[in-house]
Amino acid sequence: MVTVSPTGTPQSPEPTAASRSVPRGLLQVARPKQWLKNVLVFAAPGAAGVLHHRADLLPAVGAFVVFCLAASGTYFVNDTFDAAADRLHPVKRNRPVAAGVVSPPLALATGATLVAAALAIAGGLIGWRLAVVVALYVAVVVLYSVRLKHEPILDLGCVVAGFVLRAIAGGVATGVPLTNWFLIVTTFGSLLVVAGKRSAEHADLGGGRAAVRRTLGAYPPAFLRSVRVVSAAVLLMAYCQWAFERGAVLAHGHHTLWFELSIVPVVLAVLHLELRFESGHGAAPEDLATGDRLLQVLGLLWVALFAIGIYA
């Protein structure tokens, strides 16, 4: 069946379960596009200025690979428990488990294998501390998938914890100490994105939102907006403090102006994100990261300014 987009443009028919192979379905469940989130493991060593050392770069890359495996493993668990709700969603109903391409037993077995591989690599090649962080991440995500995603507030906390644990993993893998300001920036930046995602889902799903995600029925739009505003305010305050503090630490032989200038793209990026969220966009944050040109330019500008301040 050929569908028509809201603009009147014919669209290709959606693939049916019979037309999709199991290997391709397994790859889709693994969500390689979501691996972009795991770039957070480079945040702590990057901010500390140690990524140009091979001894620090390799463990950071290893942590990235470990989280790609662990995250993909948890997606198999999540999709298995979410299959019934996903069938009610206009897009998620095409996920392989919900569509019947990948059976629940196969999904759970594959997820367990990927998680076991992640823990083995983390503990065997990098260190037991990273294995503990990965285990905590898996535990949080599994609890979220099984129960906590249906509990208001706790569902936001679980998703935020997943982002923060990625950032912590980078510091643990490279032995970089994490400052209070770094953790505050990471936590409230993650909360801003998660609240924005929920706001967009709230608008997209309309009256049937509670059937797809129970917590959306408990979140008034004004509440999600207030969470975004508070998160943005704390994020900007903490980043400013972090940038000035970082500049003071590296003041000898460095031009602290670069750290101060890095505040500008951060402020503009937060304002741009808030505009996008308020306009109903952001249900898939990874699409914003890969498709929003202004956000990409601001991100590259921030990286350049911060990198000059640290590495120049």
Q: Report the pLDDT averaged over residues 295-301.
A: 93
Most confident listed range (146-150, 191-195, 257-261): 191-195
What is residue 226's predicted lDDT score, i.e. its pLDDT? 95
pLDDT in tens, 44-72: 898 888 888 888 899 999 999 999 999 99
One-letter amino acid identity for 298?
Answer: L
Q: Does residue 83 have a pLDDT over 60?
A: yes
Query: Is the pLDDT higher at 210 or at 297?
Result: 297
What is residue 242's predicted lDDT score, i.e. its pLDDT? 84
Cβ proximity of 177 and 187 under 8 Å? no
Q: Does residue 1 have a pLDDT over 60?
A: no
Q: Does residue 13 have a pLDDT over 60?
A: no
- Provide the percentage of residues in the chain whose pLDDT is more than 70: 87
What is residue 248's predicted lDDT score, i.e. its pLDDT? 67
Q: Does residue 126 have a pLDDT over 80?
A: yes
CA distances from 239 to 2, 77, 245, 254, 270 (A): 48, 35, 10, 19, 11
pLDDT in tens, 152-184: 899 999 999 999 999 999 999 998 888 898 899
Cβ proximity of 69 and 137 under 8 Å? no
Q: Report the pLDDT averaged over residues 109-117.
A: 94
User: What's the pLDDT band for 4 if we cut at 50, 70, 90?
Assistant: very low
Helix, strand, coil percent content, the chain, rounded in steps of 5: 80, 0, 20
Task: Report the C-alpha gap between 62 and 58 in whole angstroms.
Answer: 6
Q: How many helices (H) and strands (E) does the chain have?
A: 15, 2
One-letter amino acid identity for 23?
Answer: P
Least confident range from 118-122, 236-240, 277-281: namely 277-281
Q: How many CB atoms lie within 10 A of CB 305?
A: 21
What is residue 11's predicted lDDT score, i.e. its pLDDT? 43
Q: What is the DSSP letter of 177?
A: P
Q: Report the pLDDT averaged over residues 253-271.
A: 85
What is residue 250's predicted lDDT score, i.e. its pLDDT? 59
User: What's the pLDDT band for 219 if we cut at 50, 70, 90?
Assistant: confident
User: What's the pLDDT band for 214 if we cut at 50, 70, 90?
Assistant: confident
Q: Does residue 100 have a pLDDT over 80?
A: yes
What is residue 153's predicted lDDT score, i.e. its pLDDT? 92
What is residue 309's predicted lDDT score, i.e. its pLDDT? 80
Q: Report the pLDDT averaged over residues 132-139.
A: 95
Q: Does residue 14 have a pLDDT over 60?
A: no
Cβ proximity of 29 and 97 under 8 Å? yes
Q: Does residue 10 have a pLDDT over 50?
A: no
Chain mean pLDDT for the chain: 85
167 contacts: CB under 8 Å, gap ≥ 6: 40, 41, 43, 44, 178, 182, 183, 186
185 contacts: CB under 8 Å, gap ≥ 6: 235, 238, 239, 242
What is residue 199's predicted lDDT score, i.e. its pLDDT? 87
